[in-house]
């Protein structure tokens, strides 16, 4: 099925410089640390979860604040071989984990099983968990199957049994969540309509939030705007942390004459007037969340 002193005057000045330098380094370290906390999350799925890939509102629900990697292929199995689809076979979960390794990140969601064999599924799930741990994955979320077939009930039991053995495994109970909502599904009771896709993305998002992912919230990371000089080329790239990429930038106040801001966050141009100009910068993330920050842009007269 496709499925985060006092001292003598001659020394005091040097101490002030050192302290100021430490403050700058600390601020830089904090910014870098915030950026590093954005988690890579990989979603491994078959044709059921693949609907998320083709439903932009579902992606917007799932992506904010994480570095989302999608590994979604029809007919994928956990093991040993995926079923053929359109002349090829997708990598199994085991094959994908072995080939991708640490690039999967520390959090992986597995939504695979509709094409697997009931009898082998419990052992295959355990083998996949061992492989994921070996690849450096710290949090595994495994999505249950909507039990449109009796075999899926026992396969869901296998997922829950594995969670009792492995504390880093979290069960995301799609079956319980979707059981009473046939209108979320296509005629086979498994593949998702738009409403079902949004509901699955929302459930996965909540599961991540319950584990403390994603962090941090969206913020403008650029500390200050460098000074400009009349008649000299000016350029600066704005930066942000948190939220979900891509970011879109805009200005709440008109920039000084001669300067422009691109949607990708670059301020460029040639300042045409000296002075101190208040600038309000807004960044919006992929989910449409806006954050603003006010700067003072100083432009010096030409030498």
Domain end, chosen from 168, 187, 210, is at 210
Reported as a single tens digit per residue, the pLDDT across 122-143 is 999 999 999 999 999 999 999 9
Residues 63 and 85 grouped into a single domain:
yes
Residues 113 and 51 grouped into a single domain:
yes
Range from 39-53, 177-191, 283-297 carrying the lowest mean pLDDT: 283-297
pLDDT score at 28: 35
With respect to residue 195, please indicate whether it lies within any of the assigned structural domains. yes
Strand partners, 267: 236, 261
Residues 228 and 164 grouped into a single domain:
no
With respect to residue 141, please indicate whether it lies within any of the assigned structural domains. yes
Residues 241 and 109 grouped into a single domain:
no
Residues 153 and 248 grouped into a single domain:
no
With respect to residue 234, please indicate whether it lies within any of the assigned structural domains. yes
pLDDT band at 253 (very low <50, low <70, confident <90, very high): confident
Alpha helices in the chain (DSSP H): 9-36, 56-62, 93-100, 121-134, 150-165, 174-178, 194-210
With respect to residue 11, please indicate whether it lies within any of the assigned structural domains. no
pLDDT score of 257 more than 80: yes
Residue ranges making up the domain that contains 280: 217-300
At 269 the three-state DSSP class reads: strand
- The span from the CA of 287 to the CA of 274, in Å, is 38
Residues 194 and 102 grouped into a single domain:
yes
pLDDT score of 237 more than 50: yes
Q: What percent of the chain has pLDDT over 90?
A: 75
- The span from the CA of 264 to the CA of 252, in Å, is 15
Mean pLDDT of 207-213: 89
With respect to residue 30, please indicate whether it lies within any of the assigned structural domains. no
pLDDT band at 215 (very low <50, low <70, confident <90, very high): low
Residues 197 and 274 grouped into a single domain:
no
Domain end, chosen from 187, 210, 233, is at 210
Contacts of 83 (CB under 8 A, 6+ apart): 1, 75, 77, 89, 115
Counting the structural domains of the chain, the total is: 2
Residues 204 and 241 grouped into a single domain:
no
Domain end, chosen from 185, 210, 235, is at 210
pLDDT score of 37 more than 80: no
Residues 135 and 221 grouped into a single domain:
no
pLDDT score of 155 more than 50: yes
Q: Model pTM greater than 0.75?
A: no
Specify the higher pLDDT residue, 212 or 20: 212
- Kindly report the CATH number assigned to the domain that includes residue 49: 3.40.50.1110
Range from 9-18, 83-92, 173-182, 226-235 carrying the lowest mean pLDDT: 9-18
Residues 62 and 192 grouped into a single domain:
yes
pLDDT band at 6 (very low <50, low <70, confident <90, very high): very low
With respect to residue 22, please indicate whether it lies within any of the assigned structural domains. no
Residues 177 and 47 grouped into a single domain:
yes
- Kindly report the CATH number assigned to the domain that includes residue 274: 2.60.40.10
Residues 149 and 230 grouped into a single domain:
no
With respect to residue 280, please indicate whether it lies within any of the assigned structural domains. yes
With respect to residue 289, please indicate whether it lies within any of the assigned structural domains. yes
> Do residues 108 and 170 make contact, with C-beta atoms less than 8 angstroms apart?
no
- Give CA separation, 281 vs 34, 57, 242, 300, in Å: 20, 26, 16, 21
């Amino acid at each position: 099925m496709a499925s985060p002193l006092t001292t003598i005057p001659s020394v005091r000045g040097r101490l002030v410089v050192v302290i100021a330098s430490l403050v700058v380094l600390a601020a830089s370290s904090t910014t870098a640390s915030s950026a590093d906390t954005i988690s890579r999350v990989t979603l491994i799925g078959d044709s059921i979860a693949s609907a998320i890939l083709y439903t932009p509102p579902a992606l917007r629900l799932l992506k904010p604040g994480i570095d989302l990697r999608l590994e979604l292929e029809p007919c994928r199995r956990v093991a040993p071989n995926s079923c053929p689809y359109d002349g090829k076979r997708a990598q199994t979960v085991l094959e994908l984990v072995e080939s991708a390794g640490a690039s999967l990140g520390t959090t992986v969601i597995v939504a695979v099983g509709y094409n697997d064999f009931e009898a082998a599924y419990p052992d295959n799930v355990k083998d996949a968990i061992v492989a994921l741990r070996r690849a450096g994955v710290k949090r595994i979320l495994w999505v249950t199957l909507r039990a449109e077939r009796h075999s899926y009930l026992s396969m869901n039991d296998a997922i829950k049994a594995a969670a009792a053995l492995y504390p880093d495994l979290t069960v995301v109970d799609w079956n319980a969540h979707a059981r009473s909502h046939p209108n979320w599904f296509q005629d086979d009771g498994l593949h998702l309509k738009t409403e079902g896709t949004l509901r699955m993305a929302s459930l996965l998002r909540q599961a991540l939030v319950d584990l403390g992912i994603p962090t941090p919230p969206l913020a403008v990371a650029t500390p200050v705007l460098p000074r400009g000089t009349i008649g000299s080329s000016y350029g600066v790239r704005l930066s942000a942390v948190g939220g979900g990429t891509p970011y879109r930038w805009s200005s709440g106040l008109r920039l000084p004459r001669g300067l422009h801001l691109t949607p990708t966050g670059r301020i460029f141009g040639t300042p045409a007037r000296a002075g101190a100009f208040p600038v309000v910068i807004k960044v919006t993330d992929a989910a449409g969340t806006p954050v603003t920050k006010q700067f003072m842009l100083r432009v010096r007269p030409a030498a």
